[in-house]
Structure 1
């Protein structure tokens, strides 16, 4: 029987999971699901490949560890012969220390806890997932896969802030995030269009968290996120690019505390803050409130600015890829971005865009524009299989 691996992606209010078989060139998905709504109205969702999907409401008070225990109990009940050979975890921040996936031991956990202040909304839950899985399967290898790893190796000019050089040496620099998604898209693009995949590509990962990545040769050259997951594009509830002088003003002249400022920037800004309606693009597009339309316009405007900047970094744009929730499903956002970049040589096929086709540019477009589904779980599974040495993939 092929080795089986479980992937865990623990976020602030959910724990996503998937079970894969390592019996093909790429991990083969068997089942996926999530416990979401933690802290509010949690529910357990599961979808079996070529099978049924189901969901059920859970008790209101459910911790991340309880959710993880529930997931493993379900897997063992549903697949009694499917022994778990390894468990892979999405970990948002690997700092400068981790530039590749790693098998987690006690020392590694201590190092990863030191990065909690760098990713306060995500890192604690990622580590809770690892700790819960180690308790449930103490003999099974746990593999940490890092969102920052894909961006390691950037040039100094793409990594540094214009602070005294000693700050750069201390590790206060641009890390970038969404790396597992970008790595998957880089591999997927080699299948779709191997020629353009090796050229200058900008990938737009647009979801509740949003960023852009410029690639050459399938490798990250620059990205819009920086030291934290606040920088760059506006997001569902995060502010994106902002003048640090404004932050100093709020701290000094309005006596805002650091905790209040953190809540403002992480939880009350972005699309939610601008619109006053929702952080969800679907709700904004359905709303008649002019502030919702203004929030969408601002989002599109910032995406265009960042794409143009990244195109300059890689010496021109050869392909554009949209991915993640908004990128894969919002024809309105894609149209605004592509039509706003017509001067770069992009031409939109409105019919293909409305259908969410793989290619949404016209045949005459100088630059192809793709819509490609990302799959962070498959990327985690691949890394886990390779790192734990479970199959021919590892050799």
Structure 2
């Protein structure tokens, strides 16, 4: 039976899951602490401490873990990677060829915190299993259906601004939500659906007749809603002021890693911990999160010219009933809107797309 290794690589971790041809998850392995003394998590077993200086060493450990569970490299049909940014030209799930790899590399300036690590994983796996087909699924792809007026910033048409557009992210999550909605809910997908992917990274998507027509993230995953450690919506003038005051590198660190719920609460980026923390700052952080969800939801509803349903997904969206209730209460002006919880299934969706691609007669 076909086996697909789904890969989500970051700067210090590689999360993998093996799916069979029936899209059943067979095994989950995670390498943590890459670049230092790390650990391998094999299924539900306790972590095994390992020295993981780089991604290739981490993949060797993952492949060793697979072998311990009776899965060799030769048993794998493909490796399918989540790639955050496809740049201006890559949208559809595709086989990673030299040209595709080059395009992912060219998009690195657009996602400097993500794409370099995806490339590191692609290259490391290619070195270890050179005959294994590799596939890329892009988080920006689902939003390619946004109209130009939604995608373009009001900037002059110059070479230096050509790549500056609203790409949108969490596309794999939203596409999976659309795919799984009927089976999960027993209902037809609403014509005008407001989808909320709420986790450490958070965004909204206006889905009109199965297609994305607007989303809150823009040029980078930094924009839009208040998130775990990301600032979300902020005036470009404030960013320029911050860069002048503290420099580019420190400003980038502050906006990506020290802001959001963590910056507001000065305690944690974890919504569960904030819910248990009885301080004014912790309560304000949760209120800020809900306020900007509902404020930006208004613009998503306007982009669809109305709303027929709301779907929550992601760790917070699925598990924090207080947040859901607050958001729904804040949107009560729009009427009694049906709402659902759709469990996130991004990895399964990536496996589904990879298997469909490999079965395509046109596939090389």
TM over 0.5: yes
The equivalent residue for 2:324 is 334
The equivalent residue for 2:149 is 157
Instruction: Please tell me whether the aligned partners of residues 20 and 26 of structure 2 are also in contact (alpha carbons under 8 angstroms).
Output: yes
1:11 matched to 2:3: no
Q: Alpha-carbon deviation of 1:223? A: 0.5
Q: 1:109 & 1:314 partners in 2: Cα distance? A: 35
The equivalent residue for 1:35 is 31
Of stretches 220-229 and 74-83 in structure 1, the one that deviates more from structure 2 is 74-83
1:287 matched to 2:286: no
**Deviation per CA, 1:207-244, whole angstroms, max 9, x where unpaired?**
11111111012211111000111110011111100011
Q: 2:357 & 2:344 partners in 1: Cα distance? A: 21
Instruction: Please tell me whether the aligned partners of residues 143 and 384 of structure 1 are also in contact (alpha carbons under 8 angstroms).
Output: yes
Between the two proteins, the alignment pairs up a number of residues equal to: 361
SS of residue paired to 2:269 = coil
Q: 1:198 & 1:89 partners in 2: Cα distance? A: 30
Of stretches 53-62 and 171-180 in structure 1, the one that deviates more from structure 2 is 53-62
Instruction: Please tell me whether the aligned partners of residues 196 and 318 of structure 1 are also in contact (alpha carbons under 8 angstroms).
Output: no
Q: Alpha-carbon deviation of 1:35? A: 2.0
2:214 maps to which of 217, 222, 236: 222
**Deviation per CA, 1:296-329, whole angstroms, max 9, x where unpaired?**
1000000001111101110111111111111111
SS of residue paired to 1:8 = strand
Which consecutive unaligned segments of at least 5 residues does structure 1 have? 48-52, 346-365
SS of residue paired to 1:110 = helix
Note the aligned Cα RMSD (angstroms): 2.0
**Deviation per CA, 1:25-58, whole angstroms, max 9, x where unpaired?**
xx221112322344577332233xxxxx212142
After superposition, residues 159-238 of structure 1 pair within 5 angstroms as: 159-166=151-158, 170-193=162-185, 196-238=188-230
1:65 maps to which of 50, 56, 59: 56
Of stretches 204-213 and 165-174 in structure 1, the one that deviates more from structure 2 is 165-174
Q: 1:167 & 1:290 partners in 2: Cα distance? A: 47
Q: 1:390 & 1:85 partners in 2: Cα distance? A: 14
The equivalent residue for 1:376 is 346
Q: TM-score when scaled to structure 1?
A: 0.86
Of stretches 116-125 and 271-280 in structure 1, the one that deviates more from structure 2 is 116-125
1:264 matched to 2:226: no
**Deviation per CA, 1:338-393, whole angstroms, max 9, x where unpaired?**
11111112xxxxxxxxxxxxxxxxxxxx32111111111101101111122289xx
Of stretches 6-15 and 142-151 in structure 1, the one that deviates more from structure 2 is 6-15
1:85 matched to 2:81: no
**Runs of 4 or more above 6 Å deviation:** none
2:313 maps to which of 299, 316, 323: 323
The equivalent residue for 1:119 is 111
Instruction: Please tell me whether the aligned partners of residues 142 and 212 of structure 2 are also in contact (alpha carbons under 8 angstroms).
Output: yes
2:46 maps to which of 55, 76, 79: 55
Q: 1:147 & 1:285 partners in 2: Cα distance? A: 30
Instruction: Please tell me whether the aligned partners of residues 187 and 218 of structure 1 are also in contact (alpha carbons under 8 angstroms).
Output: no
Which consecutive unaligned segments of at least 5 residues does structure 2 have? none
> 1:39 and 1:140, CA in 2 relative to 1: closer, same or farther beyond 3 A?
closer
SS of residue paired to 2:31 = strand
Instruction: Please tell me whether the aligned partners of residues 8 and 16 of structure 2 are also in contact (alpha carbons under 8 angstroms).
Output: yes
> 1:258 and 1:245, CA in 2 relative to 1: closer, same or farther beyond 3 A?
same
Q: TM-score when scaled to structure 2?
A: 0.93
Instruction: Please tell me whether the aligned partners of residues 37 and 53 of structure 2 are also in contact (alpha carbons under 8 angstroms).
Output: no
Instruction: Please tell me whether the aligned partners of residues 33 and 52 of structure 2 are also in contact (alpha carbons under 8 angstroms).
Output: no
